[in-house]
Amino acid sequence: MSKSKLKNFLVISITVYFITVFVFSFWSGLTQQNPQAWIGSLAYLPHGCKVIFICFFRHKAVPALFLAEFTGQQLEWPNTEMVYMYAGSITSILSVLLAVEIVKWTQIANFKPSDIFLEINFTNYKFIVFVIILSGLFNSIFTNLVLSQLNQIPIDVGVIARFYAGDIIGSSLFILFVVIALKLLITQKNKELNQ
């Protein structure tokens, strides 16, 4: 790996890690859920991190995303045995990777990371919208299958529906925040350049 590729990977990893830990901690602080009694969140913001970072950085974001979830879980629930949560994190990240590959393969929508800086319209974000919908579906089914096997708890359709809704709503809220933040940054830079 060349120095520039390594530097690029490190910059991506550090950025993904800190933003995801922050979002995970923010979400966890808002919901105050006990991990043992967790039935899914109706606005799971960390799923938005996975979608955005995997859409933009693909496999380069995966190690940082998993490490961020591991760190977030340790920070929020330090005295909890959470092997099942780590397994859930792995299936969740794999669900997003699978959704990205399926959307790319079907050519429903094209996406280049630079599209985020274009004028906002549905064509630019169709790829991300499809990834949110598909990854939310995969995550709600596969993660609950894994968690039910590890915890010996039967799968509940209500929990699957709650995971699905939470992933879609949380991703949408996170991405909306990112779009607004980017627009504000671009506007601020343009003002500074025009002065």
Per-residue pLDDT of the chain (195 residues; tens, 9 = 90+): 577 778 888 888 898 899 888 888 887 776 666 554 555 566 778 888 888 888 888 888 899 998 888 887 777 666 666 666 677 778 888 999 999 888 888 877 776 655 555 555 555 678 888 889 999 999 888 888 887 777 776 777 888 888 888 889 888 888 888 878 878 888 888 887 777
For 20, the domain range is 3-194
The CA radius of gyration of the chain, in Å to the nearest whole number, is: 17
Query: What is the spatial distance between Cα 53 and Cα 100, in angstroms, rounded to a whole number?
Result: 11
Name every residue whose Cβ is closer than 8 Å to that of residue 47 and which is 6 or more positions away in sequence. Answer: 92, 96, 135, 136, 139, 166, 167, 170, 171, 174
Count CB-CB contacts under 10 A for residue 76.
Answer: 17
Query: What is the spatial distance between Cα 94 and Cα 91, in angstroms, rounded to a whole number?
Result: 5
Q: How many domains does the chain have?
A: 1
Two tokens, residue 136: 């939310």
DSSP 121: -
Helix axes 45-57, 157-194, angle to 10 degrees: 60
Two tokens, residue 182: 């980017």
Two tokens, residue 77: 């629930």
pLDDT digits (tens, 9 = 90+) for 90-141: 888 899 999 988 888 887 777 665 555 555 555 567 888 888 999 999 988 8
Cβ pair 179, 48 in contact under 8 A: no
Burial level of 107, CB count in 10 A (0-12/13-18/19+)? exposed
